[in-house]
Amino acid sequence: MTFEHAFADLGGVPANRLTDTQALTGLLLAAANAAGLNPAAAPVVTVGPRGVAAALVCHGGHVAMHALPEEGLCFADVAGPGAKHPQRGLEIIIKRLGAREVRSDTRRRGSVTPATNPEVS
């Protein structure tokens, strides 16, 4: 089984978009829906002295964001099983936050050991 992992560094995000806990809660749910992920629990958004942490644990994946509102920076991360589409969830986050700068990547994640076939020597 493989997982798809999409992540991005976002810059130039208006601070008010990174501190609105209600909007961030809705954003986590919208991103999960776009990625085809089903939430396993309610979203958690915490604003503290070192920035914002927001996460939604899903069955087989997650949507997470870590932000420094005063810097306009956010790291966004969406992962799910290979049949899902985390890039779509990441696109929702990028668009709704209004990031002026984006550096993104996707990776396929999976087993760290090669599959073995006992019939091949």
pTM of the model: 0.87
- Which residues neighbour 4 within 8 Å (Cβ) at sequence distance 6 or greater? 79, 80, 81, 82, 84, 85, 86, 87, 106, 107, 108, 109
| DSSP SS3 for 86 | helix
The pLDDT value recorded for residue 118 is: 54
The pLDDT value recorded for residue 117 is: 55
**How does pLDDT run across 18-33, given as a tens digit for each residue?**
999 999 999 999 999 9
What are the structural domains of the chain? 3-102 (3.60.90.10)
Between 15 and 4, where is the model more confident?
A: 15
The pLDDT value recorded for residue 115 is: 56
